[in-house]
Amino acid sequence: MSVIPLKDIEAAAQIVYRHMRPTPEISWPLLNVRTGADVIVKHENHTPIGAFKVRGGLNYMTRLKQAEPDCPGVITATRGNHGQSVSRAASAVGMRSVIYVPHGNNTEKNKAMEAFGAELMVYGDDFQESREEAGRVGEAEGLHMIPPFHPDLVAGVGTYALELLQKHPDLDTVYVPVGMGSGICGLISARDGLGLKTKIVGIVADKAPAYALSFEAGEPVNTNDADTFADGVACRSPDPQAVDIINAGADRIVRLGEDEFRAAMRAYFYDTHNIAEGAGAGPLAGLLQEKDRMAGKKVGVILSGGNADKAQFLEAMAGE
């Protein structure tokens, strides 16, 4: 799969902005001191669901409703932010949504999905098992199965990247979390469409390294588990289309230990008083890991995921 054309991202923006405003890009002095770089934070934690996923959901669901006005409903699986995106967007277009999550999922994300109107189903020990069950149920009940990766999702999510890169075309590097790949692929697509040279660095967890292994191998590599504190990057079966775009367009993939995610959560709270979940803090953690390499450069970090539950946040804050 090739990158998403710029015109498709621009068309998605017309849909997205019916429902939300562009999010801010802020340079925080204390983060600049901490990292030794000129840091621009793209605050996707300020979307209606606290993550960039909502943009993709709005674009996908709007186009689905236009193409299939009699669609009985949608079904998908998630660890949280994708599901909030689907339920929020389904409600916006007047469609039923069924969301599968694994046992032990973030309870506050579960409540948010239900508040947006989703029918929440708990199944399996991890995302992959939930995803497989959602596929079976969707086929049996005639519901439209929303994949975790699709061109319409990428085009919608890519609107955050268009906002960032149009305002800051001189960014040397941007760090972005990699869950199923829509965020980084939208960023690569926007950069290529604008003809910029900005380097793009994906962030994954050591405990969920599928996309890092796929980047190294040049082809999709599955893992046996993805049990990480940073549930937003808990992928063990990467999407082949996403792998193609990432392997062609990313500069590198950085792997983070669990404590690095927690330390970056603390840094965001101390330096900006924003609450980031593990995956949302991952890009800052990646920059801190590469602090010497990035010294003095203008760097973007994508804060997508402000949905840490109380237990996660207290665990991170107590980890000093």
CATH code of the domain made up of 6-51+151-317: 3.40.50.1100
pLDDT by residue (tens digit) across 226-250? Answer: 889 898 898 889 999 999 999 999 9
pLDDT by residue (tens digit) across 199-232? Answer: 999 999 999 999 999 999 999 999 988 889 898 8
- pLDDT(14) > 70: yes
Predicted local distance difference test score (pLDDT) of residue 35: 98
pLDDT by residue (tens digit) across 111-170? Answer: 999 999 999 999 999 888 998 999 999 999 999 999 888 999 999 999 999 999 999 999
Alpha helices (H) in the chain, listed in sequence order: 6-16, 29-35, 53-67, 81-93, 107-115, 127-141, 151-167, 182-194, 210-217, 240-249, 258-272, 278-289, 291-294, 310-317
Count of C-beta atoms within a 10 Å radius of residue 142: 10
Q: pTM of the entire structure?
A: 0.94
CATH for 53-145, options being 3.40.1160.10, 3.40.50.1100, 3.40.50.1000, 3.90.1150.10: 3.40.50.1100
pLDDT band at 320 (very low <50, low <70, confident <90, very high): low
How far lies 318's CA from each of 34, 232, 278, 298, in Å? 20, 21, 14, 31
- pLDDT(108) > 90: no
Location of structure tokens 């186009």: 63
Residue type at 77 in one-letter notation: A
Predicted local distance difference test score (pLDDT) of residue 232: 87
pLDDT by residue (tens digit) across 49-63? Answer: 999 999 999 999 999
Q: Of 193, 186, 225, which is closest to residue 207 (Cα–Cα)?
A: 225
Count of C-beta atoms within a 10 Å radius of residue 91: 16
Segments making up each domain of the chain, as ranges: 6-51+151-317, 53-145
| Same fold yes or no, 6-51+151-317 and 53-145 | yes
